[in-house]
Amino acid sequence: MIVHEVEGVSSEKASELLRQYMSERHRYVDFASSMERLLGQLLSYANNHVEINARAKDPESLQKKLSVKSYDSLQLIPDLAGIRIVTSYTSDLRAICAIIRSEFDVIEEVPHGFGKPDAFGYASQHMIVRLKGNRSTLAEWITMADLNCEIQVRTIMQHAWASISHALDYKTDQEIPDEVRRKLHQVAALIEVSDSLFDSFRADVEALREHYATVSSVEEWKLLPVNHDALEATLGNISIAGIAAKIESLHAPVNEPRDFGSLDASQKGAVSIDISSIAEHAGLLGIKTIGELDAALNQPRAIQVWADFLPSYAKARAKRGKEFPIYPLRHEFVIALTLRMLYNREAKQGGSRAAQKPSADSTTVAQQRRKPTAKN
């Protein structure tokens, strides 16, 4: 244990530590910023999607701390540099803490609220760390080798509780007025239940994705519903040979579909936008299953919308002095644009028919106008 909760230091000692901190605060600012970058890299390598924030302690906060805790030197104050890691799921907390333990020297570790039946709302893993020997000798880190950093790891829901309770200045259960204690306990229970449900939700989604990936290799893939996860697993099975041939007639090749899991982050982002558009327009067209989607994309009308669109698009670009683009088009983008054009054409044709045919309301009004009025 590196801190002791005793009566605060003398005013002279506090002033001395504050002056020293102000003169060295830039070191802690640099240390916190460097730790933020390093932890971001370490956790991204492990596929942990987190939000990381860094800070050097505010001088006013340090002054308040020195009034209740005693320290002989700045090096013994554990949280002058601080990192907060916020993750979506409680099931990620253990993996994140394991990475921190493997990459840093952990001086102290304090779990707040976890596994304690009488814990009051707040839950977070606090770890006081220093650089390990191998990293502390590197040129970019050597000036920070003697500094401590407090790392707090919590979920989004736990962070919400911490932010609200901090604003209310309630640190313990005993501080809460009896009149509102029950309501605040209800909030704490909802946060814990929400964390549990989010974990359960992710487990269900991952199991469903595994099922879709298995089914995608057999004939059953055509029976899958059109949703984002099913599309990720089966888009490579959907044939757009006729559409691709029409597009390639204007020298714009269409890429072969690629496994979604093999894409990098930027490619996944672009393909996810395409998949969202596919799911949306398939729904608008009344397409329920992947098999129905495959069939719709191989009907003559799907090729015809491209046959109508491409020449006008090429002509419009030529007017602006631009050639028809010859870069490859994504398989998923072609499917998304095909469905969008099919829907727009269907909506336009539907609107034309509606304009030609009198509505029931207008017919009724006309009939009412022609109906003779009864005589008294």
For the chain, give every domain's residue range: 11-177, 220-363
Token pair recorded at residue 358: 């009198």
pLDDT at 358: 46
Cβ contact 263:271 at 8 Å: yes
pLDDT at 349: 82
pLDDT at 6: 43
Give the separation between CA 109 and CA 94, rounded to whole angstroms.
13
Query: 24 falls in which pLDDT band (50, 70, 90)?
Result: very high
Helix (H) or strand (E) holding 181: helix 178-215
**11-177: CATH architecture:** 2-Layer Sandwich (3.30)
Q: Which residue has the higher pLDDT, 224 or 180?
A: 224
- Whether the per-residue pLDDT at 354 is higher than 50: the answer is no
- Whether the per-residue pLDDT at 353 is higher than 70: the answer is no
Supply the DSSP symbol for 233.
Answer: H
Q: Which residue has the higher pLDDT, 376 or 83?
A: 83
pLDDT at 10: 79
pLDDT at 3: 41
pLDDT at 22: 95
Percentage of the chain modeled with pLDDT above 70:
81
The DSSP annotation for 109-168 comes to: EEEESTT-TT--S--EEEEEEEE-HHHHTSTTTGGGTT--EEEEEEEHHHHHHHHHHHHH
Give the separation between CA 266 and CA 261, rounded to whole angstroms.
12
- Whether the per-residue pLDDT at 23 is higher than 60: the answer is yes
Average pLDDT on 32-37 reads 96
pLDDT at 181: 72
Average pLDDT on 22-44 reads 94
pLDDT at 219: 72
Give the separation between CA 112 and CA 120, rounded to whole angstroms.
9
- Amino acid at position 243, single letter: I
Q: Which of 42-51, 110-119, 227-236 has the lowest mean pLDDT?
A: 110-119
- Model pTM score: 0.60
- Whether the per-residue pLDDT at 230 is higher than 60: the answer is yes
- Whether the per-residue pLDDT at 127 is higher than 60: the answer is yes
Give the separation between CA 86 and CA 112, rounded to whole angstroms.
15
Query: 114 falls in which pLDDT band (50, 70, 90)?
Result: low
Give the separation between CA 220 and CA 215, rounded to whole angstroms.
6
Average pLDDT on 359-372 reads 40
Neighbours of 362 (CB within 10 A): 10
Unique residue bearing structure tokens 């597009």: 247
Query: 371 falls in which pLDDT band (50, 70, 90)?
Result: very low
- Whether the per-residue pLDDT at 47 is higher than 80: the answer is no
Is the torsion defined by CA of 72, 75, 77, 80 positive or negative?
A: positive
Half-sphere exposure of 271 (CA within 13 A, CB side): 23
